[in-house]
Amino acid sequence: MRSIRRQLLFWLLAIVLLGVGLAGWLIYRQALAEANELFDYQLQEIAAALPAQPFSQVLGSRDTGDEGIVLQIWNRNGVLMYYSHPRAPLAPRAEIGFSTEHTERGDWRVYGAIVGDNVVQLAQPVSLRNRLAANVAWRTIWPLLVLLPLLGIAVWVVVGRGLAPLRRVTRALEARHPEALDPLPVTGLPLEVQPLVQALNGLLERLASVLETQKAFVADAAHELRTPLAAVQIQAQLVARAHDDVTRSEALTDLQAGVARATRLVGQLLALARSEPDQHGVPQRVELQPLLGECVAACASLAEARGVDLGIEASEAASVTGDAEALRVMFNNLLDNATKYTPAGGRVDVSLQVEAGHPVVRIDDSGPGIAPAERGRVFDRFYRVGAGANRERTDIAGSGLGLAIVRRIAGQQGAQVTLDDAPAGGLRVTVRF
Ligand SMILES: Nc1ncnc2c1ncn2[C@@H]1O[C@H](COP(=O)(O)OP(=O)(O)OP(=O)(O)O)[C@@H](O)[C@H]1O
Ligand SMILES: [Mg+2]
């Protein structure tokens, strides 16, 4: 698992280490340049301080083995008069000025000069200068290297403290009751963590509203199912108590109607639950003309039985992107309402037109219509016109869910549903995509 703390520690230490290494190398270069300057000067000074008069005889060496500076002196005739370290791997030649000699024991810095009657040559191993520069660099950087573990501990602790608010938020979330959806406190949180907690709070808010809707829906559904089921129970009792065939048959008809109402209510409840925001299918291209034709055909026999003339008046080719099944449920509910609430002898006209590039479906009927004051409320769940206190007297069966389903689906499919007066006097429902 990737840990911010570990990554920060790793990269910080790696960068510091790289920086120390670079600093060490720069210091080494600088110290080497200075050592070269100083030692060259020293070689020159030593050469200048040597005796200028001719040597009377070849001198023996005092070879100490320590080859800090090797000295060779020749006389005018090229005879080597003095050699401080005869075992030094230097060529027996004299070159005036500074030069670097490559030997089997490394490089040597050599300085040759004419001092009076003699030619002198001073030589020094280059490794001596390198070692000196390396020592200088090392003395500068080792305290930094010693501090590195301390820096690591400090980074570990500081980052840990910086991440503490995240752990606090996690603990607060873990300790929560599943239904506690109130927002988490944002105050006191670092700037970087705030957006995360704010996003979480947004999600909690949406969850709370969905949960609220669901609870209300379940409560309403349970309440609404009680009425038709109670009716079914009474009707069943009446069937059981019937003494003659005529009363029994009448009671049975009532019972069947009651069961049909309860079935319709369950069906509508299911349709509403299916039209929940997270339930819609993959959007696809839907041709409205054939879809509407199918819905009207499906409703035709029912309309005929109710004595209502149902037909498509005008129809243009139009398509939308959406869920065909959801659209079918929406149109079926609107057609069901129009044919159900229009008295026998009336008519229902369906039209599909394209207006300003947008498909518009109109369903007009010649029924009683809905009073303007009621038009806002009929979309509410379980709301029925003329219901309320005298609900039992609502003569046409219905659960009051149809238009709620219509509005929900329209919202999801990018359509707008409006209610108006139809030219024939009834209700005009307009679905504008
Ligand atoms: N075409 C219409 N003409 C007159 N009134 C209507 C029409 N459509 C709906 N209404 C009124 O609006 C109310 C709500 O309609 P909705 O479709 O939501 O419920 P419902 O038809 O009663 O029940 P459901 O459709 O769930 O079986 C209805 O009770 C009815 O009074
Ligand atoms: Mg309805």
User: CA 310, CA 349: separation in Å to the nearest integer?
Assistant: 6
Residues 74 and 187 in one domain: no
Q: Ligand 1: which atom is nearest the Cα of residue 384?
A: 29
Domain with 355, as residue range(s), is 281-432
Residues 241 and 194 in one domain: yes
Q: Retrieve residue 172's tokens.
A: 């607060």
In-domain check, residue 157: no
Q: Retrieve residue 271's tokens.
A: 């349709």
Ligand 1, atom 11: nearest CA belongs to which residue? 385
Ligand 1, atom 31: nearest CA belongs to which residue? 385
Please tell me the pTM assigned to this model.
0.57
Ligand 1, atom 19: nearest CA belongs to which residue? 400
In-domain check, residue 161: no
pLDDT on residue 276: 66
For residue range 13-45, what is the model confidence (pLDDT) as tens digits? Answer: 999 999 999 999 999 999 999 999 999 999 999
pLDDT on residue 393: 34
In-domain check, residue 131: yes
Is residue 341 over pLDDT 60?
Answer: yes
- Report the separation in Å between the CA atom of 278 and the middle of ligand 2, taken as the mean of its atom positions: 24
**Mean pLDDT value across residues 236-265:** 88
Q: Retrieve residue 431's tokens.
A: 């679905």
Residue 121 sits in a domain whose CATH number is 3.30.450
For the ranges 253-257, 272-276, 291-295, which has the lowest average pLDDT?
A: 272-276
Residues 223 and 101 in one domain: no
Task: Report how many domains make up the chain.
Answer: 3
Choose one of 239, 274, 309: the last residue of a domain.
274
Give the number of the ligand closest to the Cα of residue 397. Answer: 1
- Report the separation in Å between the CA atom of 316 and the middle of ligand 1, taken as the mean of its atom positions: 27
**Please, which pLDDT band fits residue 387 given cuts at 50, 70 and 90?**
low
Residues 294 and 425 in one domain: yes
Is residue 378 over pLDDT 60?
Answer: yes
Residues 270 and 286 in one domain: no
In-domain check, residue 162: no
- Report the separation in Å between the CA atom of 377 and the middle of ligand 2, taken as the mean of its atom positions: 13
In-domain check, residue 317: yes
Residues 264 and 387 in one domain: no
Q: Quick one: what percent of the chain has pLDDT higher than 90? A: 40
Ligand 1, atom 12: nearest CA belongs to which residue? 378
- Residue 388, sorted as left (phi over 0), alpha (psi -120 to 50) or beta, turns out to be left
Q: Retrieve residue 163's tokens.
A: 């991440």
Which residues lie with the beta carbon below 6 Å from any ligand 1 atom? 264, 268, 333, 337-338, 341, 365, 367-370, 378, 384-385, 398-404, 427
Ligand 1, atom 1: nearest CA belongs to which residue? 338
**Mean pLDDT value across residues 370-388:** 83
Residue 253 sits in a domain whose CATH number is 1.10.287
Phi and psi angles of residue 172, each rounded to the nearest 5 degrees, phi first: -60, -40
Give the number of the ligand closest to the Cα of residue 374. Answer: 1
Residues 425 and 285 in one domain: yes
Give the number of the ligand closest to the Cα of residue 400. Answer: 1
Task: Give the Å distances, CA to CA, from 5 to 26, 157, 195.
Answer: 32, 9, 20
Choose one of 274, 307, 338: the last residue of a domain.
274
In-domain check, residue 214: yes
Residues 316 and 418 in one domain: yes
Nearest one of 60, 61, 47 to 123, comparing CA atoms: 47
Ligand 1, atom 28: nearest CA belongs to which residue? 384
For the ranges 146-160, 196-210, 276-290, 337-351, which has the lowest average pLDDT?
A: 276-290
Residues 185 and 237 in one domain: yes
Is residue 96 over pLDDT 70?
Answer: yes
Please list, in sequence order, all residues whose beta carbon lies within 8 angstroms of the beta carbon of residue 196, skipping any fewer than 6 positions away. Answer: 169
**Please, which pLDDT band fits residue 126 given cuts at 50, 70 and 90?**
very high
Bridge partner list, 431: 361, 417
- Report the separation in Å between the CA atom of 382 and the middle of ligand 1, taken as the mean of its atom positions: 10
Give the 3-state secondary structure of residue 182.
coil
Q: Are strands 309-315 and 347-355 parallel, antiparallel or unpaired?
A: parallel
For residue range 172-231, what is the model confidence (pLDDT) as tens digits? Answer: 889 888 888 888 888 888 888 889 899 999 999 998 988 887 887 788 778 778 877 888
| 8 A C-beta contact, residue 119 and residue 55 | no
Residue for token digits 């209610």? 419
In-domain check, residue 427: yes
Residues 190 and 259 in one domain: yes
**Please, which pLDDT band fits residue 112 given cuts at 50, 70 and 90?**
very high
Ligand 1, atom 27: nearest CA belongs to which residue? 398
In-domain check, residue 80: yes
Choose one of 227, 254, 274: the last residue of a domain.
274
Is residue 293 over pLDDT 80?
Answer: yes
Please list, in sequence order, all residues whose beta carbon lies within 8 angstroms of the beta carbon of residue 64, skipping any fewer than 6 positions away. Answer: 85
- Report the separation in Å between the CA atom of 342 and the middle of ligand 1, taken as the mean of its atom positions: 11
- Report the separation in Å between the CA atom of 401 and the middle of ligand 2, taken as the mean of its atom positions: 7
For residue range 144-182, what is the model confidence (pLDDT) as tens digits? Answer: 999 999 999 999 999 999 888 888 888 988 988 888 888
Give the number of the ligand closest to the Cα of residue 405. Answer: 1
**Please, which pLDDT band fits residue 281 given cuts at 50, 70 and 90?**
low
Ligand 1, atom 21: nearest CA belongs to which residue? 398
Phi and psi angles of residue 110, each rounded to the nearest 5 degrees, phi first: -125, 140
Residues 299 and 401 in one domain: yes
Residues 218 and 349 in one domain: no
Is residue 391 over pLDDT 80?
Answer: no
